[in-house]
Amino acid sequence: MHFLTQPPRFLFFTGKGGVGKTSIACATAVQLAAQGKRVLLVSTDPASNVGQVFGERIGNRITAIAAVPNLWALEIDPQAAAQAYRDRIVGPVRGVLPDAVVDGIEESLSGACTTEIAAFDEFTALLTDAALTQDYAHIIFDTAPTGHTIRLLQLPGAWSGFLEAGKGDASCLGPLAGLEKQRSQYKAAVEALADPLRTRLVLVARAQRPTLREAARTHEELAAIGLSQQHLVINGVFPAGEAENDALATAIYKREQATLAAIPQVLQALPRDQIALKPFNLVGLDALRHLLVDTDATHGADAIELPTRINAPDLSTLVDEIAVDGHGLVMVMGKGGVGKTTLAAAIAVELAGRGLPVHLTTSDPAAHLADTLEGSLPNLVLSRIDPQEATARYRQHVMDTKGAQLDAEGRALLEEDLRSPCTEEIAVFQAFSRAIREGGRKFVVMDTAPTGHTLLLLDATGAYHRDIARQMGETGVHFTTPMMQLQDPKQTKVLIVTLAETTPVLEAANLQDDLRRAGIEPWAWVVNNSVAAAHPHSPLLRQRARNELREIDAVATRHARRHAVVPLLTEEPVGVERLRALANWKTS
């Protein structure tokens, strides 16, 4: 493996949820420890399962891994760190400022930026305090800070004063108000990250377009601020030997090879490793020792018994329930790479096929669905929002208004604030909001929706909902704001999309909690690209199908009020007929 050749002291693994970065970080730690090197494995992932992988209770303390000599682990709890931030900032103003202002501050501290910066605050000492880490030859981090977080920490100026003076939108500057340590410590940490002799960043992806696009974006973002020592690891690549005598396996292999042949140009120059897809769950020491080596682990897989039927509805069953109302807003939500765009299109095609008027609107940059659906189905209108254009307009508007009266320092802070992921969600949602009103007379199917945190930010900072409520309440006239429509289950149905894998299900559950905090109750979950529902013959796929059954059961029994399972298909579901077939694919 290239990324393990002459490894520096610090190794950071980063990538989208579900690509396997925790497993690779753990396997790397085991391999280096086996070489006699003392290793500290640190997780800052909110969805960390390092303890589960090793079968040890770790937590927020350095813990020796009993089964692996020379290995210690630490799970930094970013949620606890973020809560400490919130308590430290909000505590002094609670009861002093109006409740609405306090609520706005609390919401500004509830997003991903707060969690990430709080985690960075926690592990800064591991990068800079020689006495704390002198016993370890290597320190491995599961999850690296983004370029956005690092730029925030590099910015000059009074962070807390910026927030208290109300100079910017409350999105990601909130956590900066809680930073009490000396800037010199953060400066030293960033310098350690940028030193190729001390640090190597490993970008983890899958042989899928969305995760490779994310890796390319991360590479450019980090390289632009001096973190250039990067390696690319493509995990879970389908082995050629498994692509025989199984149409599904052959299709997966060909699809992945085509994706790898078209890898983003900015990634082509990076040192690259490929790790073959494994049939087993990456839990336990034996599994970790086999992850980074090529072995045939499918022995005995032919004897695996899979159910002849996945006891779950298909997508068209959910559409039957949606169609009863005759109109409404359908929001398809989920983390990147789970197939939201495809499922939104399939739902729109199903509704239109029932003779119902449908407006499908998407912000997905892959426009092939638009090309396929254009004018090809009665009752269906398609629109596409360009996220970059919408975000650019929004940023310019904020800089021209709120930034007009700021000094150079304030404008620099505001400009970085507007690079937050929240900014794109806000900008796209504003463009989407025009379509929301159509939900009173037709179906509007919305792909790529904002998180509950972003919706609450819009409500808290824009105050649109509260202003309208106050004005209209005085007149006694009935009114509905976009936020009220999203919270009304009779008008809006939110579908959460996930994969039947541990991390995607956990991330979907976190998204559901986020939405509930905004007063939005998800209507259904959809488990997409299920191998178990496809009834595979390949030994490797049969083992993976067995592993999926536990996650599907968790969705059905613990997370979702109603759910559907959609199989992984041999042909990509592009075009009206394939989308219709996808929605109606029976799990029996």
Matching fold, domains 2-295 and 315-583: yes
Decide if pLDDT at 351 tops 70: yes
CA distances from 7 to 38, 231, 472 (A): 13, 11, 64
Lowest mean pLDDT among 172-176, 280-284, 311-315: 172-176
Higher pLDDT: 549 or 463? It is 549
Confidence at 350, pLDDT banded by 50, 70, 90: very high
For the stretch 535-556, pLDDT in tens is 888 888 988 999 899 999 999 9
Decide if pLDDT at 366 tops 80: no
CA angle 63–67–69, rounded 5-degree value: 75
Higher pLDDT: 36 or 480? It is 36
Decide if pLDDT at 332 tops 90: yes
Q: What is the per-residue pLDDT for 241?
A: 86
CA distances from 489 to 283, 482, 523 (A): 39, 13, 8
Question: Cα 262 to the chain's mean position, in Å?
Answer: 23
Q: What is the per-residue pLDDT for 395?
A: 86
Q: Are 31 and 4 in contact (CB under 8 A)?
A: yes
Residues in CB range of 185: below 8 A, 6 or more apart: 124, 125, 128
Interatomic CA distance for residues 234 and 206, integer angstroms: 5
Q: What is the per-residue pLDDT for 139?
A: 94
DSSP state letters, 399-438? HHHTTTT--HHHHHHHHHHTTSHHHHHHHHHHHHHHHHGG
Interatomic CA distance for residues 162 and 153, integer angstroms: 14
pTM of the model: 0.80
Q: Which residue is it, tokens 């730690």?
A: 29
Higher pLDDT: 400 or 300? It is 400
Residue 308 is given by DSSP the state S
Decide if pLDDT at 297 tops 70: no
Residue 10 is given by DSSP the state E
Q: What is the per-residue pLDDT for 216?
A: 92
Confidence at 204, pLDDT banded by 50, 70, 90: very high
Residues in CB range of 378: below 8 A, 6 or more apart: 352
Which CATH superfamily does the domain covering 315-583 fall into?
Answer: P-loop containing nucleotide triphosphate hydrolases (3.40.50.300)
CA distances from 444 to 22, 335, 535, 562, 584 (A): 38, 21, 34, 21, 21
Listed by start position, the domains of the chain span: 2-295, 315-583
Question: Cα 51 to the chain's mean position, in Å?
Answer: 21
Nearest one of 242, 315, 231, 311 to 278, comparing CA atoms: 242
Nearest one of 582, 585, 527, 563 to 345, comparing CA atoms: 582
Continuous H helices in 91-241: 99-108, 112-128, 130-133, 147-154, 159-164, 183-194, 209-223
Residues marked active site are found at 18, 20-23, 45, 503
Report the share of the chain in percent with pLDDT over 70.
80
Confidence at 528, pLDDT banded by 50, 70, 90: very high
Nearest one of 556, 552, 331 to 452, comparing CA atoms: 331
Q: What is the per-residue pLDDT for 86?
A: 76
Residues in CB range of 400: below 8 A, 6 or more apart: none
Q: What is the per-residue pLDDT for 402?
A: 79
Interatomic CA distance for residues 412 and 418, integer angstroms: 10
Instruction: Give the pair of three-digit tokens for residue 487.
Output: 């919270």
Lowest mean pLDDT among 95-104, 125-134, 170-179: 170-179
Mean pLDDT of the chain: 81
Q: What is the per-residue pLDDT for 164?
A: 47
Interatomic CA distance for residues 34 and 38, integer angstroms: 9
Q: How many C-beta atoms lie closer than 10 Å to residue 285's C-beta?
A: 16
Q: What is the per-residue pLDDT for 318?
A: 96
Quick one: 309 exposed, middle or buried, by C-beta within 10 A (0-12, 13-18, 19+)? exposed
Interatomic CA distance for residues 111 and 454, integer angstroms: 8
Instruction: Give the pair of three-digit tokens for residue 224.
Output: 């632009």
Q: What is the per-residue pLDDT for 194?
A: 87
Residue 157, by phi and psi: left (phi above 0), alpha (psi -120 to 50) or beta? left
Interatomic CA distance for residues 413 and 531, integer angstroms: 46
Q: What is the per-residue pLDDT for 169?
A: 46
Q: Are 105 and 174 in contact (CB under 8 A)?
A: yes
Q: What is the mean pLDDT of residues 393-416?
A: 82
DSSP state letters, 469-507? HHHHHHHT-----HHHHHH-TTTEEEEEEEESSHHHHHH
For the stretch 154-190, pLDDT in tens is 654 444 444 444 444 445 555 555 555 556 777 888 8
Higher pLDDT: 358 or 420? It is 358
Residue 551 is given by DSSP the state H
Partners of residue 563 on adjacent β-strands: 525
Q: What is the per-residue pLDDT for 73?
A: 92
> Which one is the CATH code of 2-295: 3.30.360.10, 3.40.50.300, 1.10.3720.10, 3.30.9.10?
3.40.50.300
For the stretch 221-248, pLDDT in tens is 888 888 888 999 999 999 988 888 789 9
Q: Which residue is it, tokens 């930073």?
A: 179
Please compute Rg for the chain using Cα positions: 24
